Amino acid sequence: MARNILLVEPGYRTKFPPMGLMKISTYHKRLGDNVYFVKGINQEVPYQHYWDRIYVSTLFTYNWTVTVKTIKYYKGIVRDDCSRLFVGGILATLMYEELWKETGVIPIRGLLCESGMLGDDNDIIVNDLVPDYSLFKNTPYDYSLVDDSYFGYSTRGCIRKCEFCGVPKLEGGFVEYWGIKPYINEIIELYGPKPHMVLFDNNILASKRLEQITNDLIELGFYKGAQFEYTNKAGQIVKRNRYVDFNQGTDARLMNKKKMKLLSKLPIHPLRIAFDHIKDREVYEDRVRMASENGIIHLSNYVLYNYDDTPEDLWERLNININLNIELNLTIYSFPMKYIPLNFKDRSFISEPNWNWQYIRGVQRILNVLKGTVMTSQDFFFRAFGQSAEEFIKILYMPEKLLMNRGTKPGPDERDWCQKFENLTKGEKLELLTILCENTKIFHLYEAYTSLKNRKLKNILNYYIDEKLANKKNIPLFGELN
């Protein structure tokens, strides 16, 4: 008898669809079960079916609160019968015991890479299955990438054990060849061809079979200059350039001329290279030049910050990309990524003493305006991040209402704030930073403001306090300094 299966992704934001749930959907549909998908807590779910099984996926550990709330809600739907509730994924693996203790549900650790892991008597290995690309059809959930891209792996795991990365715990040892061709051909047979390829390999360059992987991708139609032809809704034949994206980035330390030449045979767009430490500058710059020499002009790099770096280090790494763009006529987009420890349950971690609350908030405000991406133009970069590391620090001091609304040129309020800031002594700037970091709640900042005796500090703090709220609290803002 067909079972009713509910697949749940908690309501956090994510760019990519839940691959694990897509494979579990394939698994249950092969068994003849009815499969349904929802995002977050759905109040209609209890009235739709008797659920034989509910699967809840997990992602990053900082999604702890929404994930736990989701698990507990669906645990109530199965009336605390945990044999019908399955929880797995990244958070479930990295925080196994904590999640078990908090929810009463025993999570599934790691990948579903053995038969019988879901309690059924068969020899199907879920991890080897292709994702169910039809899972989101006729649902209100928008996963447009499903229509545009194949998702998969050509290797698994990683040879490194970086402190900030959970891959060794999630995927185990390194598998240098995964055999992508049969997997993609099955997707084509079931769901039709797609223009792009997104591979989630965690260290593709560690594979000794990189040449074979490259040849596999070429045979699948992903060679440099390849195009995808299809008929649009108007009946017209349209051609699109095809792209391969090694989405998790490539390890510059393992790159050499032979490997770069192999990659250059593919329509890589972009080539992602991690630039996590300023000490890797020489290696990083050399590999970018190597890419340019091989005709790869579209690059992107992940820039880890709030780890063992300083704000000045972050600015320097971003500026290096701007200079390489100019020197080599490239388009390198930088994606600063805030470090959060693998066991942290929210995004609040600050790596002291190099970073503090005001600096972290400043970076986040800048990136919010830029939608997370550092553009390639030098003028744009200088305006957003400053023309030097010292100016970057000054920008990080700026109040939110200025930082979030800066135009291409400084307005009168920004010029006034800058003048007031420059008039502060080194000690006063440090005191201002202390006030801002110790009084992150607006009412606490009011209290700090009213107790200050330094006229220059009170004058500049006017910019950090909302005038309407100040009036509501009957707190007079300080006038111009005479």
Confidence label for 472 from pLDDT (cuts 50, 70 and 90)? low
Q: Where are the alpha helices (DSSP H) in 31-88?
A: 64-77
Q: How far apart are CA 396 and CA 44, in angstroms?
A: 45
pLDDT in tens, 110-161: 999 999 999 999 999 999 999 999 999 888 887 878 889 999 999 999 999 8
Q: Find residue 57's DSSP bridge partners.
A: 88
pLDDT score for 68: 98
Residue 482 pLDDT greater than 50, yes or no:
no
Q: Print the SS3 string covering 280-310.
A: HHHHHHHHHHHHHHCCCCEEEEEEEECCCCC
Rounded mean pLDDT of 5-11?
Answer: 98
Residue 189 pLDDT greater than 60, yes or no:
yes
Q: Find residue 250's DSSP bridge partners.
A: 273
pLDDT score for 479: 41
Q: How far apart are CA 321 and CA 374, in angstroms?
A: 10
Higher pLDDT, 203 or 468: 203
Q: Is there a contact between 111 and 171 (Cβ–Cβ < 8 Å)?
A: yes
pLDDT score for 407: 87
Q: Print the SS3 string covering 217-280.
A: HHHCCCCCCCEEEEECCCCCEEEEECCEEECCCECHHHCCHHHHHHHCCCCECCEEECCCCHHH
Rounded mean pLDDT of 345-368?
Answer: 96
Confidence label for 86 from pLDDT (cuts 50, 70 and 90)? very high
Rounded mean pLDDT of 336-342?
Answer: 95
Residue 478 pLDDT greater than 60, yes or no:
no
Q: How far apart are CA 480 and CA 332, in angstroms?
A: 44
Residue 42 pLDDT greater than 50, yes or no:
yes
Residue 173 pLDDT greater than 90, yes or no:
no
Q: What is the mean pLDDT of the chain?
A: 93
Q: Find residue 35's DSSP bridge partners.
A: 5
Q: Is there a contact between 306 and 360 (Cβ–Cβ < 8 Å)?
A: yes
Q: How far apart are CA 349 and CA 363, in angstroms?
A: 14
pLDDT in tens, 401-455: 899 888 889 999 999 999 999 999 999 999 999 999 999 887 788 888 888 999 9
Rounded mean pLDDT of 11-17?
Answer: 92
Residue 468 pLDDT greater than 80, yes or no:
no
* CA-based end-to-end distance of the chain: 84
Confidence label for 471 from pLDDT (cuts 50, 70 and 90)? low
Residue 207 pLDDT greater than 70, yes or no:
yes
Higher pLDDT, 408 or 316: 316
Q: DSSP labels for 73-116?
A: HHHHHTTT-GGGEEEEEHHHHHTHHHHHHHHS--PBPS---STT
pLDDT score for 232: 85
For the chain, what percent of residues have pLDDT higher than 90?
83
Residue 272 pLDDT greater than 60, yes or no:
yes
The pTM for the full model equals 0.92
For 16, residues 6+ apart whose C-beta sits below 8 A from its C-beta are 143, 145, 151, 198
pLDDT score for 481: 31
Confidence label for 467 from pLDDT (cuts 50, 70 and 90)? low
Rounded mean pLDDT of 169-183?
Answer: 92
Query: Where do the domains of the chain lie?
Result: 4-125, 412-472
- With b for 16 or more beta-carbon neighbours within 10 A and e for fewer, the 293-312 pattern comes to ebebbebbbebbbbbbbbbe
pLDDT in tens, 89-121: 999 999 999 999 999 999 999 999 999 999 999
pLDDT score for 168: 85
- Which residue type sits at 351? S
Q: Given CATH 3.40.50.280, say whether it is the number of domain 4-125.
A: yes
Helix or strand holding residue 313 (H, E): helix 311-328
pLDDT score for 6: 98
pLDDT score for 170: 87
* Number of C-beta neighbours around residue 66 at 10 A: 15
Rounded mean pLDDT of 318-326?
Answer: 97
Q: How far apart are CA 198 and CA 149, in angstroms?
A: 6
Q: How far apart are CA 160 and CA 126, in angstroms?
A: 26
Confidence label for 375 from pLDDT (cuts 50, 70 and 90)? confident
- Which residue type sits at 225? G
